[in-house]
């Protein structure tokens, strides 16, 4: 079986839910609290 390492870059308008989507997928959590604006988010999921 081949194992692929992918890097995904999420870009979009401010406040559309990019960080929320990433945190939901990687950590399984969703927060209504607005994250700090313009803060890049780097996460890793195996
Ligand atoms: N109801 C609802 N709220 C959401 C959803 N996704 C994000 N939000 C809310 O929208 C707000 C902004 O979400 P962020 O994930 O911070 O958006 P972002 O695209 O990362 O914003 P920037 O980092 O400023 O570009 C937060 O208050 C989230 O809780 C969703 O699917 N449903
Ligand atoms: Mg964000």
Q: What is the mean pLDDT of the chain?
A: 83
CA of 7 to the centre of ligand 2 (A): 17
Compute the average pLDDT of residues 16-41. Answer: 80
The confidence score (pLDDT) of residue 23 equals: 86
- Ligand 1 contact, 35 CB (< 6 A): yes
pTM of the model: 0.80
Q: How confident is the model at residue 35 (pLDDT cuts 50, 70, 90)?
A: low
Query: What 3-state DSSP class applies to 9?
Result: coil
CA of 2 to the centre of ligand 2 (A): 32
Q: Answer yes or no: are the C-beta atoms of 27 and 16 closer than 8 Å.
A: no
Q: What is the DSSP letter of 27?
A: H
Compute the average pLDDT of residues 24-45. Answer: 77
Q: Measured between alpha carbons, how far is 14 from 11 in angstroms, rounded to an integer?
A: 9
pLDDT at 36 over 70: no
Burial of 10 (0-12, 13-18, 19+ CB in 10 A): exposed
Q: Answer yes or no: are the C-beta atoms of 43 and 23 closer than 8 Å.
A: yes
Compute the average pLDDT of residues 31-40. Answer: 68
What length does the chain have? 46
């Amino acid at each position: 079986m081949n194992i692929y390492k992918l890097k995904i870059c999420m870009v979009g308008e401010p406040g559309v839910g990019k960080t929320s989507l990433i945190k939901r997928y990687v950590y399984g959590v969703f927060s209504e609290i607005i994250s700090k604006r313009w803060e890049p988010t780097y996460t890793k999921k195996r």
